[in-house]
Every structure is written in structure tokens, then in C-alpha cells.
């Protein structure tokens, strides 16, 4: 069974343990993004070596290519991508809004054309949940509409109410299996009362965990934190809380201090492919010429392959030469940094000293 246990509290922050069909995850946790059944520039073994025990896949991308039914016939997503640990699948709602072409939203769902080949599709709450079942996700996300930002209050309210009706249908469509659970997604834009209403509606429906969605899309960190603070008090204490699409190290720390347990973001992997490294001394641009003769590692306290085996000078050379190894090493480093950051926050919560914790 998927269960969640809070082991320690420090202010609003929690250290916990989340149990799934594919293992136990310590929270707060950062989930690497493996949108199309792969974490870019990483092997599954390499992802696990960073400390990750859960990653994110995506319904929209996988239903279009290679197809959910095909993945199921090939043994499910875990076997398909050789990842023995937990997987959370995003419902596809955000990608339908951001990537799909000629989309039409109705009470039924979203009709759209694929951004890959123009083929026609209809993604309903029921189809989204079924795709995630076919993939074999440990954690399924309810189908929702990610309200664009900025948007007027009336449009945000209409969108949120539609997402709540879709949440009810998603919950009904979900088939209970040992170790597999479904999370609801709070919407409401930048309006505290709409966030409260959405959170209360979802808890009435009853989910195994609750995500805070529709943020980190341009509203700024202060607003993201304000909406998180407005939402968390209305979510059950005994269920995990997931802030979707966040973010930079300072975002993670601030959200953990506000009671969030789970995160995902493309930032560490995308940064790894664009020569940016997160370190305990701050962010580095490895294209910068100042690294060309530097024999020091990226981060002397880091345990990753880039830091234990190579100099800044070598990594700079790989970047300038356009070598694939640059993306591989920098991505491994960034994911290790994020995993270690979360582990350090867990330790700080257990020791009651998270208030002292700051991003470099």
C-alpha cells in the first residue's frame, strides 16, 4: 500500500516517508523529470546513483509516442525504461495547454492535434487516468486544466471549477491497486479564496495526496510562496503535498519551509545541457573562460562523477567542444546536488534547525 508517515516537524516543514509499490521515498523529495521515459543525458543507473528513488513521466508525451497501449504490452513503463523505483506521471493537462495544436476545451475534455504529427486526439479525465494505469504509474495525477497566467479572476474561477469537476471524474476512473494511488491538483491562479475553495473541494472528494498546480508559470517567487501559504492549511496533515514544476534551490527551500513535501522541475537537467552547474558556492556557467585553466572540481563537497573525476578546466573544454559528455556530467552533477540539498533539508528538519537553512 502507498502510505505517508510524518516523522518530524520543524515549523510548517515536515520530514516524512512515502511508501509505493516500487519502494520507499524519504521526503521532502525532488523528482527528476523523465518526460519521455528517460531523464535526458542520464542512464537509469546514473539517476539512481544520484539518490533519486522516484521520477516523473508524462501522460501527454507517452500517449503520443510510443503509445500507452504499446508500453503496457511491453511490460509497463518501469520495465520499458529499466527503472525499478517509483514513477509519478503527470496527467498531461499542462502539456495539452502548452504544446498541443488547435485545442478545444469542453466539459468532456480537450480535443487537440499532436505537436508531433498533427494527429487528432481527445484527452478526457477518464482517458488520462487509463493511460497512467497502462503505463503502470505508482502515483497517478488527476486531469486538470492548467490556467494560463496572467488571466482575469472570472476566467480563473471558471477554469478551477472545471478542474474540480474533472477531479471528481478522475477519482471515479482510478482503479485501486496495492501500492498505487492518485493525487488531486489544487488550482485557483493567484487568488487565495479560489485556492482555498479548490483545496476544500479536493479533500471532500478524497485523494491520497495533493498537488499545488498552476504556479511557477511566470507569477514570481513571492506569489508562488503566497499561494502555497494560502493552500497548505486546507490540505490534510496526513497526506503528501506536491508543488508542481518548482524549481530553483531557493524555491525548494522556501516551499519546504512552508510545508511542501514533493517537487519536480526540468531545471537541473536542462541546465546540465546548457552548461550551468549548481554548487554549494553558487551557480556556475561552464562556458565562461575563467574556468579554462582551473584544476578545481565544480564542488569539492560533491560526490558526483563530474566532481570526483574531472576538473572545471576539463568540463569547460567539453562544453566549448560541444561534446555530449559535458551534458552527461553536468546533468549528473546537478541531480546529485538537488538530491543532496533535499537530504540536507531532511536532516535539518529532524534536528529542528531548518530555519538556519539557506540557498547558496
Any idea what the CATH number is for the domain that residue 232 is in?
A: 3.20.20.105
Rg (CA), the chain: 20
* 336 and 259 co-located in one domain: no
- Confirm whether 138 is a catalytic residue: no
- Final residue belonging to a domain, choices 236, 264, 292: 264
CA-CA distance, 248 to 326, in Å (whole number)?
21
Strand, coil or helix: 343? helix
Catalytic residue among 90, 138, 144, 261: 90
- Final residue belonging to a domain, choices 229, 264, 299: 264
Could you tell me if residue 275 is left (phi over 0), alpha (psi between -120 and 50 degrees) or otherwise beta?
Answer: left
CA-CA distance, 87 to 34, in Å (whole number)?
9
pLDDT of residue 2: 61
CB 96 within 8 A of CB 60: yes
Task: Pick the closest to residue 128 from 179, 169, 78 (CA basis).
Answer: 169
Which whole-number Å values give the CA distances from 28 to 7, 159, 165, 186, 213, in the listed order? 11, 29, 29, 19, 17
Is the sign of the CA dihedral 238, 180, 92, 207 positive or negative?
negative
* 210 and 276 co-located in one domain: no
* 213 and 356 co-located in one domain: no
| Number of domains forming the structure of the chain | 2
Q: Which three cell numbers stand for residue 95?
A: 502539456
- Final residue belonging to a domain, choices 233, 264, 295: 264
Q: Which residue range(s) make up the domain with 299?
A: 266-360
* 307 and 256 co-located in one domain: no
* 103 and 150 co-located in one domain: yes
Compute mean pLDDT per 10 residues along the chain, 360 residues long, and list them.
Answer: 88 98 98 97 98 97 97 98 98 84 90 92 96 98 93 97 98 97 98 98 98 95 98 98 96 98 98 98 98 98 98 98 98 98 98 88
* 125 and 213 co-located in one domain: yes
CA-CA distance, 127 to 167, in Å (whole number)?
13
* 219 and 342 co-located in one domain: no
E strand spans, 12-117:
13-20, 23-27, 29-31, 54-58, 86-90, 101-105, 110-113
* 194 and 291 co-located in one domain: no
* 221 and 332 co-located in one domain: no
Q: Which three cell numbers stand for residue 359?
A: 540557498
CB 190 within 8 A of CB 149: yes
- Confirm whether 261 is a catalytic residue: no
Catalytic residue among 130, 264, 299, 340: 264
* 127 and 178 co-located in one domain: yes
* 241 and 345 co-located in one domain: no
* 157 and 173 co-located in one domain: yes
Amino acid at each position: 500500500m502507498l502510505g505517508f508517515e510524518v516523522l518530524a516537524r520543524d515549523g510548517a516543514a515536515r520530514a516524512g516517508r512515502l511508501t509505493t509499490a516500487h519502494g520507499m521515498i524519504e521526503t521532502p523529495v525532488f523528482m527528476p523529470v523523465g518526460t519521455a521515459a528517460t531523464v535526458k543525458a542520464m542512464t537509469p543507473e546514473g539517476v539512481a546513483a544520484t539518490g533519486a528513488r522516484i521520477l516523473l513521466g508524462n501522460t501527454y508525451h507517452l500517449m503520443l509516442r510510443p503509445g500507452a497501449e504499446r508500453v503496457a504490452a511491453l511490460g509497463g513503463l518501469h520495465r520499458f525504461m529499466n527503472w525499478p523505483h517509483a514513477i509519478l506521471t503527470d496527467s498531461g493537462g499542462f502539456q495539452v495547454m502548452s504544446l498541443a495544436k488547435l485545442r478545444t476545451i469542453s466539459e468532456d475534455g480537450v480535443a487537440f492535434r499532436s505537436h508531433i504529427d498533427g494527429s487528432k486526439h481527445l484527452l478526457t479525465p477518464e482517458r488520462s487516468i487509463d493511460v497512467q494505469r497502462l503505463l503502470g504509474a505508482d502515483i497517478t495525477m488527476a486531469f486538470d486544466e492548467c490556467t494560463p497566467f496572467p488571466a482575469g479572476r472570472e476566467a480563473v474561477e471558471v477554469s478551477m471549477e472545471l478542474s474540480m469537476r474533472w477531479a471528481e471524474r478522475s477519482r471515479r476512473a482510478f482503479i485501486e491497486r496495492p501500492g498505487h494511488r492518485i493525487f488531486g491538483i489544487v488550482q485557483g491562479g493567484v487568488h487565495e479564496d479560489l485556492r482555498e475553495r479548490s483545496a476544500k473541494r479536493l479533500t471532500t472528494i478524497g485523494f491520497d495526496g495533493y498537488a499545488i498546480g498552476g504556479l511557477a508559470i511566470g507569477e514570481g517567487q513571492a506569489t508562488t510562496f503566497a499561494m502555497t501559504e494560502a493552500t497548505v492549511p486546507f490540505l490534510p496533515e496526513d497526506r503528501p503535498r506536491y508543488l508542481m514544476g518548482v524549481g530553483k534551490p531557493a524555491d525548494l527551500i522556501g516551499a519546504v519551509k512552508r510545508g511542501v513535501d514533493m517537487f519536480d522541475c526540468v531545471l537541473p537537467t536542462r541546465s546540465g545541457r546548457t552548461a550551468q552547474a549548481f554548487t554549494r558556492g553558487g551557480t556556475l556557467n561552464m562556458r565562461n573562460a575563467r574556468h579554462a585553466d582551473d584544476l578545481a572540481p565544480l564542488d569539492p563537497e560533491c560526490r558526483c562523477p563530474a566532481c570526483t573525476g574531472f576538473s572545471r578546466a576539463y568540463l569547460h573544454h567539453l562544453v566549448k567542444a560541444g561534446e555530449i559528455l559535458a551534458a552527461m556530467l553536468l546533468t549528473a552533477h546537478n541531480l546529485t546536488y538537488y538530491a543532496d540539498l533535499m537530504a540536507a533539508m531532511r536532516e535539518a528538519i529532524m534536528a529542528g534547525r531548518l530555519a538556519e537553512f539557506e540557498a547558496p
